[in-house]
Amino acid sequence: MTDQTDQLPAYRDLPVDPSAPPHSAWGVFGPDDQLGTLNLLTPERRAAAARLARRGATFNLDLPLDLPAVPFFGHRARPAHTFLARRDGNSRDDYLDGFALQYSSQWDGLRHMRNPRYGFYNATPDEQVAGEQGRLGIENFARHGIVGRGVLLDVARHTPLAPDVRHEIPAALLDEVAHAESVSLRPGDILLIRTGVGAMLHAEAADGKRETTPRRYEGPGLAAEEATLAWLWDHHVAAVASDNLAVEAWPMRSEHAFLHFKAIPLLGLVLGELFDLDALADDCASDRVYEMLFVGKPLMLQGGVGSPANALALK
| pLDDT exceeds 80 at position 232 | yes
Give per-residue pLDDT as tens, 24-82: 999 999 999 999 999 999 999 999 999 999 999 999 999 999 999 999 998 998 999 99
| pLDDT exceeds 50 at position 1 | no
Count CB atoms within 10 A of the CB of residue 19. 8
Does residue 65 fall inside a structural domain? yes
Note the pTM of the prediction, 2 decimals: 0.96
- Mean pLDDT in residue range 104-133: 97
Candidates 96, 61, 94; CA nearest to 80 is 96
Q: Are strands 270-273 and 146-154 parallel, antiparallel or unpaired?
A: unpaired
- Mean pLDDT in residue range 132-143: 97
- Mean pLDDT in residue range 226-233: 97
Instruction: List the domain range (segments joined by +) for residue 215.
Output: 12-314
Does residue 4 fall inside a structural domain? no
Residue partners of 310: CB distance under 8 A and separation at least 6 = 62, 296, 297, 298, 299
Give per-residue pLDDT as tens, 151-209: 999 999 999 999 999 999 999 999 999 999 999 999 999 999 999 999 999 999 999 98
* pLDDT at res. 255: 66
* pLDDT at res. 25: 98
- What is the number of structural domains in the chain? 1
Candidates 165, 173, 163; CA nearest to 198 is 163
* pLDDT at res. 4: 57
Q: Are 77 and 33 spatial neighbours (Cβ–Cβ below 8 Å)?
A: no
Q: Which residues of 198-211 are buried (b: 16+ CB within 10 A; e: fewer)?
A: bbbbbebbeeeeee
| pLDDT exceeds 70 at position 2 | no
Does residue 7 fall inside a structural domain? no
Dihedral of the alpha carbons of 181, 186, 192, 195, in degrees to the nearest 10: 50
Q: What average pLDDT does the structure give for the chain? A: 95
Vertex 155: Cα angle to 149 and 156 (nearest 5):
125
* Proportion of the chain above pLDDT 90, given as a percent: 92
* pLDDT at res. 109: 97
Residue partners of 160: CB distance under 8 A and separation at least 6 = 196
The H or E element containing residue 82 is strand 80-85
Residue 130: CATH number of its domain: 3.50.30.50
- Mean pLDDT in residue range 265-284: 98
